[in-house]
Structure 1
Amino acid sequence: MNQKIAFGVLSAALALPMAAHASDGTITFNGAIEAQTCTISVNGGNQDATVQLPTVSASTLSTKGSTAGATNFTIALSECSGDATQVRAFFEAGPNVDGTSGNLNNNGAATLVQVQLLNADGVALKAGDESQRSYAATALTDGAATMIYGAQYYATGAATAGDVQTSVTYSIDYL
């Protein structure tokens, strides 16, 4: 009896139409890797740096959306080789980045406060968001450029006193 059932199932399976596969086209991917190299410094130091924000009163950050302590910093490139004529920094998404606001979450004792990145015009940048790439790039002249950015405290509520500490990874777009 089992052999009859097995034979019946096998016969039915062989009677089903077979799927046909055909090659409909080819997609070719082309690109280039540029040997763009520059010496990078942040605020005159090396490429890894600390930007010290000023001490501010918690009362200046008492309501959601309030900001304080705007501080500029520079990312300077020198000794650049390659064909790029413009550059800009791109602040990457990472473990310290708030996925909604693009601000940097605080790892210090102060609460309800983030660090907000700014472009040279004081416009907020969202770390990890491609919209950063819509802002003007900086001209690379004679293999050098200095890009100006800023950072400030940003209240997500009534901030409390304590240290603020966070970080962000950046990369350089060569255009």
Structure 2
Amino acid sequence: FLAYPTTFAIIENLKYFLLKKDPAQPFYIGHTVKSGDLEYVDGEGGIVLSIESLRRLSRIFEDPDKCPEQGGMIWKLSEDKQLAVCLKYTGVIAENAEDSEGKDVFNTKSVNALIKEAMASHPEQVADGCCSDTAITFSGLAPNHMHVMMYGAYRLRPYGHTYSDALVFLPPAGSDND
């Protein structure tokens, strides 16, 4: 998992999301963006690579024609685009991560920005329409906002509120995941 210092990650949600994935299969997941013919995962929201993708990436680094250590056109691109170009040579393509409702789980914006957008486009559904219930990342946060996110995600429990969510975070039967 790769993320910027300004990206807040809820690791439990990341682990839950990855339970459905086979690390022996190549995958490269996050918030996808298209730039010309290149589709890549935006580093702002975080990037997840499977073990197999890392193996393939390691092998392609040995080919200076495809992924040169220095120089070449690839170095004029941003880091996340460089990664996508190298992975494309290995047959690993970017995959957008969404929840069961089609909402992004790797967010390239802060919660504040996402709520403002939701208020502008559909104010009657801000709580439901803003973000995924199983969001993994939010980006663009200053350190003090990280503390607020930590409090909200891990400490705050309204008195008298009964949690009757349908979400159950258990590994699949026969899984050796914790």
- Report TM bin, short chain: under 0.3
Of structures 1 and 2, the larger Rg is shown by 1
Larger proportion of helix: 2
Larger proportion of strand: 1
